[in-house]
Structure 1
Amino acid sequence: MLDLTQLPTDTPGARDVVHFNNAGAALMPRIVLDTVFRHMQQEAHLGGYEAAESAVRPRRWA
C-alpha cells in the first residue's frame, strides 16, 4: 500500500513542482535516481559492457 504522505518526500522533484506530465516521463523517486547514479558510476569505473554484465550477474566478492 502506498503512503501518499511519503511519496513527495521520496521524489525530490515533487518539492519544487506539481507535475502532471506522467506519460512516460514522470518524476523519478529517490530509489530510481540512486540506482541510475550507482550504475553510471560503475560504468565510469568498469566500462559499459562490464557494468551491464555486473548488473545482470552481480559479482561475488571473496
Structure 2
Amino acid sequence: RSMTTIEIDDSKINKGYKLRFESAVENQKYHVSDVEIPLSTAGIAAKSEGKGYIRYVRLSKI
C-alpha cells in the first residue's frame, strides 16, 4: 500500500479533465490506463477500481 500527496488546482475540477494512472511490472504487461478518475466532484469522492496491477485509488480532499 502506498499513499502519495498530489495537489490539483480547483480550477481543473468539473472541467472535463481526468487523472490517469499507468502501471507496469518488469517483463510483464503494461497497463496504459490502469485507473482513470474523472476530476469531478463525484469522481473525486468515489473509490476507483484498477484494471491491472493497481487494486484501487481513493482520493481525499485536504
Report the TM-score when normalising by structure 2. Answer: 0.20
Whichever structure has more helix as a proportion of its residues is 1
Q: Return the structure number with greater strand share.
A: 2
Give the structure with higher Rg (CA).
Answer: 1
